Amino acid sequence: MEDLERIKELKDFDETKLGVKGLVDAGITKIPHIFYHLPDKIKKASESGDTTTIPVIDLANILEDPCACKRVVESVRDASETFGFFQIVNHGIPVSTLNEMKDGVVRFFEQDSEVKKKYYTRERKPFVYNSNYNLLHTSDPITWKDTFLCNLAPNPPKPEDLPAICRNILLEYLNHVMKVGTLLFELLSEALGLNPTYLIDIGCAEGLSAFGHYYPSCPEPELTLGTVKHVDIDFITVLLQDHIGGLQVLHKDMWVDVPTIPEALVVNIGDFLQFISNDNFKSAQHRVLSNLVGPRVSIACFFSTRHHPTTRIYGPIKELLSEDNPAKYRETSISDLHVHCTQKCSSGTSPLPHIRI
Ligand SMILES: O=C(O)CCC(=O)C(=O)O
Ligand SMILES: [Fe+2]
């Protein structure tokens, strides 16, 4: 497609402020060219019959029972070293809260268009809704989803800045996620052989932001993607997904489905944790396929100080290093890594090669 024609199409799409959902509501049966991805980027999971499954870790009783806790720490270590992904159940967030959160995302995206449009922006605001955050700054094809985002920590939003239609549940859910995140950082610290508060003490749980994704049903799912292959640029991500499916993790060069489990949360290691763990833990590439059936919703909560960068300098954790295991990365601040990401990395790629020794 000619560049100018493409840019006009992107601008026209952006100006509707109705996102991908607007196209589906208008009844399109063919997806516009701006959503076309190269066929080899969309290829489905390999059909080799591989039975790899992402581990599901049961957190029940870990606070009372030291044996259960030891088992969980081992499972967390194993999953973080091999897949960089695992699911958790019995994490303490009631199923009713999970369901209400998913409903809240649906309510936001399915509300009256004129009300929803008021939140559509590409500026930095406490609550941002748009489709494809980098729409006008990329030559890559765009994806079949709409998103809202807000930050909870370190500066919580004023309740009145959040849309009334999902305000209460969003705040309630994010407070729960902060607690789950704290527990996860304790388990991950122990899994690295550090004292339980290590990762929290160095600020890993200081920043939390939430992305509510809405993937409308797609009339031609074989031509596009919901989310392109990427790594998460954070310490960890805690993701709640609904029953539709489509999330896949790249493991040993094969796409592995992350099964949907109603009461589970998906946890993945981000690039910052791979970096400070000196590659002990793995930040895995993942993507989301589009689907004829939909909408699919998910809420991805990122633990990262991305939006409130501190001057703290991070490097591979000294306690993990030895003569046989020297630092694989040079020290840097998280904001420097972000600047590098924004200026130099094409979307979805890792900034870690930039600081690798
Ligand atoms: O929607 C999903 O399941 C995954 C979204 C994701 O990977 C992200 O927001 O980074
Ligand atoms: Fe992600």
Q: In this structure, what CATH number is given to the domain that contains residue 292? A: 2.60.120.330
Give the pLDDT confidence score for residue 335 in this predicted structure: 82
Give the pLDDT confidence score for residue 286 in this predicted structure: 97
CA 268 to ligand 1: nearest atom: 7
Q: Which amino acid is at 226?
A: G
Q: What is the pLDDT of residues 267-311, one digit of tens each?
A: 999 999 999 999 999 999 999 999 999 899 999 999 998 766 678
User: What is the band of 50 on the pLDDT scale with cuts at 50, 70, 90?
Assistant: low
Beta carbon of 286 within 6 Å of any ligand 1 atom: yes
Beta carbon of 247 within 6 Å of any ligand 1 atom: yes
DSSP, collapsed to helix, strand or coil, labels residue 342 as helix
- What percent of the chain stands above pLDDT 90? 82
Pick the residue whose CA is nearest to atom 8 on ligand 1. 300
Three-state helix/strand/coil letters over 85-111: EEEEECCCCCHHHHHHHHHHHHHHHHC
E-only strand ranges, the chain:
56-58, 85-89, 127-130, 146-153, 208-215, 225-230, 236-241, 247-251, 254-257, 265-269, 286-289, 296-303, 313-314, 332-333
> Quick one: how far is CA 158 from the chain centroid?
24
With a cut of 0.90, is the ipTM above it? yes
Residue 288 CA, ligand 1 centroid: distance in Å: 7
Pick the residue whose CA is nearest to atom 6 on ligand 1. 300
Give the pLDDT confidence score for residue 309 in this predicted structure: 66
Q: What is the pLDDT of residues 152-200, one digit of tens each?
A: 999 899 999 999 999 999 999 999 999 999 999 999 999 999 999 999 9
Beta carbon of 189 within 6 Å of any ligand 1 atom: no
**pLDDT tops 70 at residue 344:** no
CA 246 to ligand 1: nearest atom: 3
Number of domains composing the chain? 1
- What percent of the chain stands above pLDDT 70? 95
Q: What is the pLDDT of residues 110-121, one digit of tens each?
A: 999 999 999 999
User: What is the band of 47 on the pLDDT scale with cuts at 50, 70, 90?
Assistant: very low
Q: Ligand 1 test: best mutation among 213, 240, 256, 350, most atoms within 8 Å of CB?
A: 213
CA 266 to ligand 1: nearest atom: 3
Domain ranges, residue 324: 1-354
DSSP single-letter state for residue 240: E
Pick the residue whose CA is nearest to atom 1 on ligand 1. 298
Q: What is the pLDDT of residues 228-245, one digit of tens each?
A: 999 999 999 999 999 999
